[in-house]
Amino acid sequence: MSLVVVGSVAYDGIETPHGRVDRILGGACTYIALVASYFTTVRIVAVVGDDFAPEDEQLLLARGIDLEGLERVPGKSFFWQGVYSADMNDRTTLRTDLNVFADFQPKIPANYKSDPYLMLGNIQPALQQSVRAQMHRPRLTGGDTMNYWMTPQYRDELLSTIREWDFLLINDSEARALSGENNLKRAAAKIFELGPRTLVIKRGEYGAILFRRDGYFMVPGYLLEQVFDPTGAGDCFAGGFVGYLAERGFDLDNGHVDHKELSRAVIYGSVMGSFCCENFGVDRFRTLTRQEIDARFHEFRDFTEF
Amino acid sequence: MSLVVVGSVAYDGIETPHGRVDRILGGACTYIALVASYFTTVRIVAVVGDDFAPEDEQLLLARGIDLEGLERVPGKSFFWQGVYSADMNDRTTLRTDLNVFADFQPKIPANYKSDPYLMLGNIQPALQQSVRAQMHRPRLTGGDTMNYWMTPQYRDELLSTIREWDFLLINDSEARALSGENNLKRAAAKIFELGPRTLVIKRGEYGAILFRRDGYFMVPGYLLEQVFDPTGAGDCFAGGFVGYLAERGFDLDNGHVDHKELSRAVIYGSVMGSFCCENFGVDRFRTLTRQEIDARFHEFRDFTEF
């Protein structure tokens, strides 16, 4: 079941206590698409400049990702540079160059439009809204966003955008900012009033919570012996979550919702986020296999079952 | 299967965003004993002053706790006063008066000595060591400690104490301080070299991890809609953990260790820690029933199973 992914395809400069890279393929759309490609057919909508390297295009093609919606325009690709603190719980952005992304107006290719699954990576809400409007009633629409779009200037735009989503996938500080509630259970109750009937709150190393009006599911974060680079882990969570649902042909409107499928999607999200941290940027996905993914899924069952 | 609990019986002055109490029964031994009494026979070893109130004695007696080892001496009971931050993730100690606790030399009554389970609440390691030495080879010995005893002045005393324990139950910052490792998996590996073969790391609202050399078990923290007062939650975790093991007659030396029993003990610990936060100090345990406890245990299964 095909999945359309929208967001940034970018280059990142990353420094962690374990080393640094000056320029590596990154961006929310890249991470989500690479990860979801382990589960389903993926088509992307994004923009890059004329500096987009053939070997990076090759990485995406090798994972079977449809690049028809990857626009190429004169100029440079989005560039982000950041440095992590010693314990990697904080990071400082050193540079954000929007470059060709500044004028991005997503255009959905005709043969993407009937795809049933749509994942909107974190970009300006108006763009996310325009993408959904161009699709023919996707079966499941979800997205990510960030604190910046919750400030007074963009808040109304964000609210009218997420009102149409089936699921919202944000981190704990974003859930608090969006709802004005510090307690996550009360925050979830407020967010349900904004539209999405499914809310996934990512908690970094502490795992994730999936909320529905009638219950919730929680998982602790995978214990890595070494977190090499957490860049992209949240987007990889999203890719695993929506990728698994697409693979299963999951349908929220189908009378009976199988909550265990949503829970398993959270586990696959957690699995993919954990793999992401094992190497710089997207490097882990150059070698990762579906077999390793499923083995870690079962590991989650082993260390949480009682 | 009887459990002997050693530690402080104290009075606390507590202020949280939800209110304040000037003086309420507290102390690690009190919390551990109250909680463990839902699972097994409990006998305590502690000291109080002549200000120890008959109604507080009554609360302990009503839960069937054996007070033969509760020494009463002239003077005032241990007193602690603290105030929590708005989000309750931090607390500031305003006052610590050791009072009669300063000269505490635990003496184990003769008919406690053959009890199979021993839980050493956080007190000076030398006192914990003396208690264990007075017991006739308990089947299972475990304890809690804190950062203070890991400083150079007490470190050797602490190390020679925990070397004899079957399990160590500490929080994440203590595990990092004890091991010198920031990563919890590596911290656990170092701590196993210090003696205990079972390590439980408490992570506050984020749950807990139980480590054994051959694997681990993780559980997220229970989501409360309101944390009223977190005082004592870590001790309640300990009481639920060891109380359940005592109820089941659990034996680590019994060739085949049933790891699922250890996992279930972690769940009961989490359950009891969560109830503790629902009211001031020990107040929740004035009304809590075993039926409510078991219902929450099953709730944990519902929101973690996939």
Q: Is A216 on the interface with B (CB under 8 A)?
A: yes
Instruction: Looking at the complex, report in whole angstroms how far the Cα of residue A70 sits from the nearest Cα belonging to chain B.
Output: 36
As a whole number of angstroms, the distance between CA A278 and CA A225 comes to 9
| B101 HSE (CA, 13 A, CB side) | 22
B186 and A216 in contact by Cβ < 8 A? no
Residue bearing tokens 């507080």: B56
Instruction: Looking at the complex, report in whole angstroms how far the Cα of residue B257 sits from the nearest Cα belonging to chain A.
Output: 14
The region, left, alpha or beta by phi > 0 then psi within -120 to 50, assigned to residue A13 is: beta
Q: What is the predicted pLDDT for the residue at B1? A: 87
Could you say which of A87, A216, A306 has the minimum Cβ distance to residue B182? A87
H or E stretch including A20? strand A19-26
Residues 6+ apart with CB under 8 A from A56: A25
Instruction: Search chain B and give the residue with CA nearest A89.
Output: B182
Judge residue B28's burial from the number of C-beta atoms within 10 Å of its C-beta, 0-12 exposed, 13-18 middle, 19 or more buried: buried
A306 and B207 in contact by Cβ < 8 A? no
Residues 6+ apart with CB under 8 A from B106: B6, B45, B46, B69, B127, B130, B131, B134
Strands across the sheet containing B66-72 = B66-72, B42-48, B3-6, B117-120, B140-143, B167-171, B198-202, B208-212, B215-219
Chain A positions touching B258 (Cβ under 8 A) are none
Residues 6+ apart with CB under 8 A from A51: A11, A76, A77
A263 and B218 in contact by Cβ < 8 A? no
Chain B positions touching A214 (Cβ under 8 A) are none
Return mean pLDDT, chain A.
96
Instruction: Looking at the complex, report in whole angstroms how far the Cα of residue A206 sits from the nearest Cα belonging to chain B.
Output: 6
| Phi then psi dihedrals of residue B278, to 5 deg | -80, -10
Q: Residue A10: helix, strand or coil by DSSP?
A: strand
B220 and A224 in contact by Cβ < 8 A? no
A301 and B303 in contact by Cβ < 8 A? no
Does A246 have pLDDT greater than 90? yes
A72-130 per-position pLDDT tens digit: 999 999 999 999 998 888 899 999 999 999 999 999 999 999 999 999 999 999 999 99
Q: Which of residues 262-301 of A touch B (CB under 8 A)?
A: 263-264, 266-267, 300-301
The closest alpha carbon to A170, from A300, A46, A269, belongs to A269
- Give the tokens for residue A176: 């608090």
Q: Which amino acid is at B198?
A: T
Q: Which of residues 246-265 of B touch A (CB under 8 A)?
A: 260, 263-264
Residues 6+ apart with CB under 8 A from B248: B261
Report, as an integer, the average pLDDT of A281-295. Answer: 97
- Give the tokens for residue A36: 């979801």
B26 Cα distance to chain centroid: 12
The percentage of residues in chain B with a pLDDT greater than 90, rounded to a whole number, is 95
Q: Find the angle CA(A38)-CA(A41)-CA(A43) to the nearest 5 degrees.
A: 115
B185 and A224 in contact by Cβ < 8 A? yes
Q: What is the predicted pLDDT for the residue at A94? A: 96
Q: Which residues pair with A169 in a beta bridge?
A: A200
The closest alpha carbon to A303, from A271, A278, A276, belongs to A271
Q: What is the predicted pLDDT for the residue at B15? A: 96
Q: What is the predicted pLDDT for the residue at B222? A: 98
B306 and A267 in contact by Cβ < 8 A? yes
Q: Which residues pair with B20 in a beta bridge?
A: B15
Report, as an integer, the average pLDDT of A10-16. Answer: 97
Chain A positions touching B277 (Cβ under 8 A) are none
Q: What is the predicted pLDDT for the residue at B233? A: 97
Could you say which of A185, A225, A306 has the minimum Cβ distance to residue B223? A185
Cβ atoms of A16 and A88 closer than 8 Å: yes
B244-280 per-position pLDDT tens digit: 999 999 998 767 889 999 999 999 999 999 999 999 9
Q: What is the DSSP string of A42-69?
A: EEEEEEE-TT--HHHHHHHHHTT-EEEE
Q: What is the predicted pLDDT for the residue at A89? A: 81
Instruction: Looking at the complex, report in whole angstroms how far the Cα of residue A61 sits from the nearest Cα belonging to chain B.
Output: 33
Strands across the sheet containing A198-202 = A66-72, A42-48, A3-6, A117-120, A140-143, A167-171, A198-202, A208-212, A215-219
Q: Which of residues 81-140 of B touch A (CB under 8 A)?
A: 87
A220 and B207 in contact by Cβ < 8 A? yes
Q: What is the predicted pLDDT for the residue at A257? A: 86
A223 and B225 in contact by Cβ < 8 A? no
Chain A positions touching B219 (Cβ under 8 A) are 220, 304, 306
Q: What is the pTM of this model?
A: 0.96
Cβ atoms of B171 and B273 closer than 8 Å: no
Cβ atoms of B265 and B169 closer than 8 Å: no
Chain B positions touching A219 (Cβ under 8 A) are 220, 304, 306
A306 and B217 in contact by Cβ < 8 A? yes
As a whole number of angstroms, the distance between CA B218 and CA A304 comes to 6
Chain A positions touching B263 (Cβ under 8 A) are 305-306
Could you say which of A182, A186, A218 has the minimum Cβ distance to residue B303? A218
Tell me the pLDDT band of A1, cut-offs 50, 70 and 90. confident
A186 and B225 in contact by Cβ < 8 A? yes
The three state secondary structure string of A62-80 is HCCCEEEEEEECCCCCEEE
Instruction: Looking at the complex, report in whole angstroms how far the Cα of residue B304 sits from the nearest Cα belonging to chain A.
Output: 6
A220 and B226 in contact by Cβ < 8 A? no
User: In chain B, which residues have pLDDT < 50?
Assistant: none
Q: What is the predicted pLDDT for the residue at B88? A: 86
Alpha helix ranges (H) inside chain B:
28-36, 54-62, 125-134, 152-162, 172-179, 184-192, 233-247, 259-276, 290-304
Chain A positions touching B226 (Cβ under 8 A) are 183
This model of the complex carries an ipTM of 0.94
B183 and A306 in contact by Cβ < 8 A? no
Could you say which of A185, A218, A305 has the minimum Cβ distance to residue B225? A185
- Give the tokens for residue B146: 């804190």
User: What counts of helices (H) and strands (E) characterise chain B?
Assistant: 9, 13
As a whole number of angstroms, the distance between CA B88 and CA B99 comes to 28
The closest alpha carbon to A183, from B237, B277, B297, B235, belongs to B277
A141-196 per-position pLDDT tens digit: 999 999 999 999 999 999 999 999 999 999 999 999 999 999 999 999 999 999 99
Q: Which residues pair with B72 in a beta bridge?
A: B48
